[in-house]
Chains A and B, each alone.
Chain A
Amino acid sequence: MPGMHGTVTAVAAMQRADLLIALGTRFDDRVTGKISSFAPDATVVHADIDPREISKNRTADVPLIGDCREIIAELVAATRIELRTSGAADYAAWWKRIDGWRENYPLGYTWPGDGGLAPQYVIERIGALADPDTRYVSGVGQHQMWAAQFLRFEHPGTWVNSGGLGTMGFAVPAAMGVKLAYPDTLVWAIDGDGSFQMTNQELVTCAVEDVPIKVAIINNGSLGKVRQWQHLFYGERYSNTDLDVRRIPDVVLLAESMGCAGLRCDSKTDVDAVIKKALDINDRPVVIDFVVAKEALVWPMVAAGTSNDEIMAARDMRPLFDGDD
């Protein structure tokens, strides 16, 4: 995944590319970083169904306007002919460089120092204990980024989130829509405590209408993503991002009152057991309150408005900027 919280490898590969084949994508600012320094040496082939997207943010050298399915199929045919008549391409050196980034900057996380639960671990375990058909929906915030990073997706349409608008409150109602479309499939909403408090009343709808979704609240007691910015860019002055004065609401009671099963987990040793318990309850929606460490940060990160070259793999670690990558 490229972008503000993409992997070092994905961001680095795009920055150093000599050819970008952009398919059904829009050079969003969260992906490009500072646009003037985005993929400076790349020639751009851009396929999109909407002509207004072509050369909107980045000039396309070869525009392909139309349905991606048709265009990609035709590109395959044209490339077959090209490779047959003019010889194969050689990307061996490129892959070597990519593998170097992969090896040096894998996606990972550290455990919080205070003994709290690592949010990334919770998400990882949810994914590990689910079958590949499982569908995931997320809210907006740190938990969304960790879900995109640490879940695995095997099929199209199994990851549903609010990307462009970044709408907190998306998860619970959207998960309800997904579950109604696929009643026999496990549907997990990975939600934040802040996002959850915007639309959780739709759990009442889920309970009444028999839509048994599972909700994992990654409860860091804060508007974590905003807090992360305050931590990094506002001198750790946490203005109005704390949600957890006296742990109100009590999510377990709230869930129960809405006709759902409410569970809580705050230690690493209980994570698997609580998830399994949730998987065994199928006659009503289930909400798990995962009480996680407040301090966890989403890495890597490209600070808004800066160049992708300044991507931080972790604090004070800028692999593309500091070294010769």
Chain B
Amino acid sequence: MGSHARTEPSAVIEAPSRPAISGANLLINAMEDAGVEIVFGIPGGAILPAYDPLMDSTSMRHVLVRHEQGAGHAAAGYAQSTGKVGVCMATSGPGATNLVTPLADAYMDSVPVVAITGQVAQAVMGTQAFQEADTCAITKPITKRNYLVTDAADIPRVIADAFYEAANGRPGPVLVDIPKDALQAKVVPTPTSQRARPARRVHDRQLREAARLIRTARQPVLYVGGGVLKARAAAQLKTLAELTGIPVVTTLMARGRSPTRIRSTLACLACTARSPRSLRCSGPIC
């Protein structure tokens, strides 16, 4: 669930070997490091510092949408079709609230999306400053996780973490809210660290029991959801279906999981059959 993590101010002062760099530059570098190819968004006051170095990025394309909702859904479309993390960007207040619907959408369908929002400067947060909204509070129940970055030095670590969270485990939307002063501050970044993979929780005993149930069942069904697509397990599933001969049912989110024409798929029905009642066969769609 969206843990509302306020990052601690960094204790690091100036390390002579590493040059100071703006939070905005750290953000753009971190996004490039995360492999981002395309960003959907609309600029505005609070996020403006980030849009300046974004203009110089050679590896990222920014698509200027007409409404932030479009940015969020475009990021989700990109993510759902590629399996990669989709990225959207918006300013504080109305920019961020316009992302609420696509974030909720991505949360419900477990789509990996990272949203980066500008926030008003920390000095005026909580004062109903111009275009202020408590974005982390608003998006907490509709994001897998969200972050408010209070120290520019944390930006690389938080961005790396956000992309990891969005894509790993059960995928989902992650939001990073960055106050304008953090984007503008010049700092020495804290180093990022690799996250460990979570431990597996499947036991051989359970697998053996499942296999025994498969053998002894008389009327089994493979009930397949969107998670199989997200795990890129279509080939494995096909093997299981062919090995066992168990009929497959695919949910709305799992359509495309396998060709709709293989015999064991109940997603579509035998076109050769003629309905005895008023339903007309719809042609070769099985």
- Please give the residue numbers on chain A whose beta carbons come within 8 Å of chain B beta carbons, in ascending order: 1-3, 6-7, 9-10, 13-14, 16-26, 28, 30-31, 42-43, 45, 48-51, 53, 62-76, 78-83, 86-91, 93-95, 97-99, 102-111, 120, 124, 127-128, 135, 137, 148-165, 167, 169-170, 172-178, 180-182, 199, 201-202, 204-205, 208-209, 299, 313-314, 317
Task: State how many angstroms separate the Cβ of A59 from the closest Cβ of chain B.
Answer: 15
Asked if A177 contacts B202 (CB within 8 A), the reply is no
Task: State how many angstroms separate the Cβ of A197 from the closest Cβ of chain B.
Answer: 13
- Please give the residue numbers on chain B whose beta carbons come within 8 Å of chain A beta carbons, in ascending order: 38, 40, 63-67, 69-84, 86, 101-102, 104-105, 107-109, 169-170, 200-202, 204, 206-234, 236-237, 239-240, 243-247, 249-257, 259-261, 266-271, 273-283, 285
Chain A positions within 8 Å of B222 at CB level: 21, 23
Contacts A14-B249, A23-B224, A157-B82: A176 and B256 contacting too (C-beta < 8 A)? no
Task: State how many angstroms separate the Cβ of A157 from the closest Cβ of chain B.
Answer: 5
Q: Which of B223, B233, B267 is within 8 Å of A25, CB to CB?
A: B223
Chain A positions within 8 Å of B245 at CB level: 89, 91, 95
In whole angstroms, what is the CA distance A120 to B282 when docked? 9
Asked if B240 contacts A20 (CB within 8 A), the reply is no
Task: State how many angstroms separate the Cβ of A184 from the closest Cβ of chain B.
Answer: 13
Chain A positions within 8 Å of B227 at CB level: 23-25, 48-49, 68
Asked if B66 contacts A21 (CB within 8 A), the reply is no
Asked if B223 contacts A75 (CB within 8 A), the reply is no
Q: Which of B38, B200, B211, B230 is within 8 Å of A66, CB to CB?
A: B200
Chain A positions within 8 Å of B256 at CB level: 153-159
Chain B positions within 8 Å of A42 at CB level: 221
Q: Which of B86, B105, B247, B261 is within 8 Å of A162, CB to CB?
A: B105
Task: State how many angstroms separate the Cβ of B15 from the closest Cβ of chain A.
Answer: 39
Contacts A23-B228, A155-B256: A2 and B249 contacting too (C-beta < 8 A)? yes
If A110-B278, A124-B282, A174-B76 are given as contacts, then 10 extra A-B residue pairs at C-beta distance below 8 Å, sorted by A number, are: A1-B249, A1-B266, A68-B227, A78-B208, A107-B285, A137-B77, A163-B226, A173-B77, A174-B74, A181-B78
Asked if A68 contacts B216 (CB within 8 A), the reply is no
Chain B positions within 8 Å of A104 at CB level: 273, 275-276
Q: Which of A48, A88, A106, A173 is within 8 Å of B282, CB to CB?
A: A106
Task: State how many angstroms separate the Cβ of B268 from the closest Cβ of chain A.
Answer: 6
Chain B positions within 8 Å of A158 at CB level: 81, 256
Chain B positions within 8 Å of A103 at CB level: 270, 273
Asked if B77 contacts A178 (CB within 8 A), the reply is yes
Asked if B268 contacts A152 (CB within 8 A), the reply is yes
Asked if A79 contacts B76 (CB within 8 A), the reply is no
Q: List 11 A-B contacts (CB under 8 A).
A: A1-B268, A24-B233, A43-B217, A48-B227, A70-B200, A78-B207, A89-B216, A108-B281, A109-B282, A162-B109, A205-B66
Chain A positions within 8 Å of B209 at CB level: 62
In whole angstroms, what is the CA distance A212 to B263 when docked? 35
A315 (CB) vs chain B CBs: closest residue: B278
Contacts A72-B236, A102-B273: A204 and B66 contacting too (C-beta < 8 A)? yes
Chain A positions within 8 Å of B267 at CB level: 1, 7, 10
A211 (CB) vs chain B CBs: closest residue: B63
Asked if A180 contacts B212 (CB within 8 A), the reply is no
In whole angstroms, what is the CA distance A99 to B270 when docked? 8
Asked if A153 contacts B218 (CB within 8 A), the reply is no
Asked if A165 contacts B109 (CB within 8 A), the reply is yes
In whole angstroms, what is the CA distance A308 to B14 when docked? 65
Asked if A66 contacts B66 (CB within 8 A), the reply is no
Asked if B231 contacts A49 (CB within 8 A), the reply is yes
Asked if B285 contacts A152 (CB within 8 A), the reply is yes
B142 (CB) vs chain A CBs: closest residue: A165
Asked if A174 contacts B277 (CB within 8 A), the reply is no
Q: Which of A149, A154, A177 is within 8 Å of B74, CB to CB?
A: A177
Chain B positions within 8 Å of A127 at CB level: 285
